[in-house]
């Protein structure tokens, strides 16, 4: 059967599934059964999930776990995490407990500005365009008033609008570069609505501007869109303690551990190949909380990695130092998050996650998410510079291997006990499982 289909989106959900399984799967009955196994038995809840995106056929589950004992600004949190990777939740929890006994995490939101741009082409006299923008700027605010009124009443809105000349990069390329405050909303829809109104006002007002020639009045708007790079929507998180209190492992002197930890961070600050994996570990913690709270982890990822490259080279997001026998480990990252809008009032588990966190404001959520990232990085670096990353990770991965080979409950119990004192590798697990079954 041909794999090209017209009008797929107009088919019912059941028709979509029938076409899919009959076209792509040798055992269509088994495929259909698998698809239906992940449906929610609550029809209303399933319909809600079906309507989040287009062409839905089933749900894709991720584990939803929690990491307790996070002390942030002297307040205790239990943090929700949605992620599939073994050892992430365990590592975050272990780091949380370690720092709980040493004063906890300190977090501060530095700024909350978000950015949007109208990209347009103009090939006339730049001085006349500058004069036009002076006339245009108050009009941009005025025409966007129906969109910004409610946001302004809550204390947010448009912060500033600039004309930026980008003609050194592309001939004729200019921007309206706008900054926004969106409070507890991530603000994508608000910002994009404002930008599209800016674009309309720009084109309309250019037609009547007396200083423009007829050609100059024909400004071409290329696109109007928010930016997920938010270098002025920043949160700083930090932990610190006396060097002598830095290790729980009596086999590793605290000073030696501290200095080795600093070296590991320094390597990630100068070596991009290491920095990418280093920062990926940070994002293990960040993405898991962002996803659990219904925020856009792709936007967060893109913005954070751009920030890591702001010097022209990709570098570590975290930093460490020792001064006066005090160890400090910190990070500043951009995070544009929301606690209203989007899925926050729709997805039942998102609502539960936010309630678990005490219904945080967007600023508070920025702090919590950043702390999860710092905790994850601390846990990873502690393992890397002491026992190695695989010992703990593979023990957490043991259950995945056992499930892959459909181990029984009794086999799992015996092998879990066995590998408490033996090195976990895929081959070793398979060999021990085969011994049991013989």
Give residue 390's pLDDT band: very low, low, confident or very high (50, 70, 90): low
The region of weakest confidence among 97-106, 107-116, 373-382, 426-435 is: 426-435
pLDDT surpasses 80 at 396:
no
Q: pLDDT tens for residues 328-379?
A: 999 999 999 999 988 888 899 999 999 999 999 999 999 999 999 999 999 9
Is 85 labeled as catalytic in the residue annotation?
Answer: yes
Please say whether the dihedral angle defined by the alpha carbons of residues 85, 89, 94 and 100, taken in this order, is positive or negative.
Answer: positive
Is 29 labeled as catalytic in the residue annotation?
Answer: no
From CA 260, how far away is CA 383, in angstroms rounded? 12
pLDDT surpasses 70 at 392:
no
- As a whole number of Å, the CA-based R_g of the chain is 27
Q: pLDDT tens for residues 89-101?
A: 999 999 999 999 9
Average pLDDT over residues 171-197: 96
Cβ neighbourhood burial of 369 (10 Å; 0-12, 13-18, 19+)? buried
Is 49 labeled as catalytic in the residue annotation?
Answer: no
Q: What is the signed CA dihedral for 273, 276, 281, 283, rounded to 10 degrees?
A: 180
From CA 368, how far away is CA 359, in angstroms rounded? 12
Q: pLDDT tens for residues 207-238?
A: 999 999 999 999 999 999 999 999 999 999 99
Of 71, 84, 98, which is closest to residue 287 (Cα–Cα)? Answer: 84
Of 267, 264, 285, 278, which is closest to residue 308 (Cα–Cα)? Answer: 278
Average pLDDT over residues 17-36: 93
**By three-state DSSP, how is residue 50 classified?**
helix
**Six token digits for residue 127:** 């001085």
Q: pLDDT tens for residues 287-297?
A: 999 999 999 99
From CA 354, how far away is CA 365, in angstroms rounded? 9
Q: Which of 296, 363, 364, 395 is catalytic?
A: 296
Q: What percent of the chain is predicted at pLDDT more than 70?
A: 97
What integer pLDDT is reported at residue 1 of this predicted model? 46
Place of tokens 């309507």: 51
**Six token digits for residue 196:** 């599209």
In the predicted model, what is the mean pLDDT of the chain?
A: 93
**By three-state DSSP, how is residue 105 classified?**
strand
pLDDT surpasses 90 at 16:
yes
Average pLDDT over residues 116-128: 97
What integer pLDDT is reported at residue 418 of this predicted model? 81
Give residue 3's pLDDT band: very low, low, confident or very high (50, 70, 90): confident
Whether the Cβ atoms of residue 288 and residue 324 lie closer than 8 Å to each other: no
Q: What percent of the chain is predicted at pLDDT more than 90?
A: 82
pLDDT surpasses 70 at 408:
yes
Is 296 labeled as catalytic in the residue annotation?
Answer: yes
Instruction: State the pTM of this model.
Output: 0.88
Place of tokens 């609505």: 193
Give the DSSP H/E element, type plus range, for residue 332: strand 326-334
| Overall residue count recorded for the chain in this entry | 438
Q: pLDDT tens for residues 55-99?
A: 999 999 999 999 999 999 999 999 999 999 988 999 999 999 999
Q: pLDDT tens for residues 261-290?
A: 999 999 999 999 999 999 999 999 999 999
Whether the Cβ atoms of residue 157 and residue 144 lie closer than 8 Å to each other: no
pLDDT surpasses 70 at 388:
no
**Six token digits for residue 89:** 């939740």
Q: pLDDT tens for residues 306-325?
A: 999 999 999 999 999 999 99
Q: Which of 143, 393, 395, 397 is catalytic?
A: 393
Q: Which of 16, 280, 351, 414 is catalytic?
A: 280
Strands laid side by side in the 318-323 sheet: 106-109, 234-242, 326-334, 318-323
pLDDT surpasses 60 at 2:
no
What integer pLDDT is reported at residue 410 of this predicted model? 83
């Amino acid at each position: 059967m041909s794999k090209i289909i017209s009008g797929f989106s107009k088919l019912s959900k059941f028709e979509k599934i029938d076409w899919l399984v009959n076209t792509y799967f040798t055992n269509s009955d088994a495929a259909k059964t698998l698809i239906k196994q992940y449906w929610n038995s609550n029809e209303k809840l399933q319909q809600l999930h079906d309507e989040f995106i287009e062409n839905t056929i089933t749900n894709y589950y991720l584990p939803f776990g929690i990491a307790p004992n996070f002390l942030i600004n002297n307040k205790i949190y239990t943090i929700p995490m949605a992620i599939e990777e073994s050892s992430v939740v365990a590592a975050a929890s272990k780091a949380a407990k370690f720092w709980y006994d040493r004063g906890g995490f300190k977090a501060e939101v530095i700024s909350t500005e978000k950015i949007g741009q109208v990209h347009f082409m103009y090939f006339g006299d730049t001085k006349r365009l500058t004069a036009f923008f002076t006339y245009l700027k108050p009009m941009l605010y005025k025409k966007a008033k129906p969109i910004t009124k409610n946001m302004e009443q809550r204390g947010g809105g448009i912060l500033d609008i600039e004309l930026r000349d980008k003609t050194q990069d592309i001939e004729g390329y200019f921007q309206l570069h706008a900054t926004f405050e969106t409070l507890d909303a991530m603000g994508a829809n608000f910002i994009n609505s404002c930008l599209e109104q800016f674009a309309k006002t720009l084109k309309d007002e250019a037609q009547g501007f007396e200083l423009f020639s007829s050609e100059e009045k024909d400004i071409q708007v290329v696109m109007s869109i928010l930016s997920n790079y938010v270098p002025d929507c920043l949160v700083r998180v930090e932990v610190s303690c006396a060097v002598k209190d830095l290790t729980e492992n009596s086999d590793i002197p605290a000073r030696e551990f501290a200095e080795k930890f600093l070296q590991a961070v320094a390597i990630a600050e100068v070596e991009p190949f290491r920095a990418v994996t280093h920062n990926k570990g940070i994002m293990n913690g960040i993405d898991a909380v962002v996803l659990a709270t219904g925020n856009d982890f792709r936007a967060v990822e893109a913005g954070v990695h751009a920030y890591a490259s702001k010097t022209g080279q990709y570098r570590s997001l975290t930093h460490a130092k020792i001064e006066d026998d005090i160890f400090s480990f910190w990070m500043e990252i951009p995070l544009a998050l929301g606690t209203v809008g989007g899925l926050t009032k729709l997805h039942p588990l998102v609502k539960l996650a936010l309630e678990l966190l005490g219904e945080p404001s967007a600023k508070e959520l920025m702090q919590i998410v950043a702390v999860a990232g710092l905790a994850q990085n601390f846990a990873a670096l502690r393992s890397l510079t002491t026992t190695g990353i695989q010992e703990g990770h593979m023990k957490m991965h043991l259950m995945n291997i056992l499930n892959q080979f459909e181990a029984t409950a009794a086999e799992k119990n015996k092998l879990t006990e066995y590998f408490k004192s033996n090195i976990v590798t895929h081959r070793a697990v398979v060999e021990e499982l085969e011994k049991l079954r013989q």
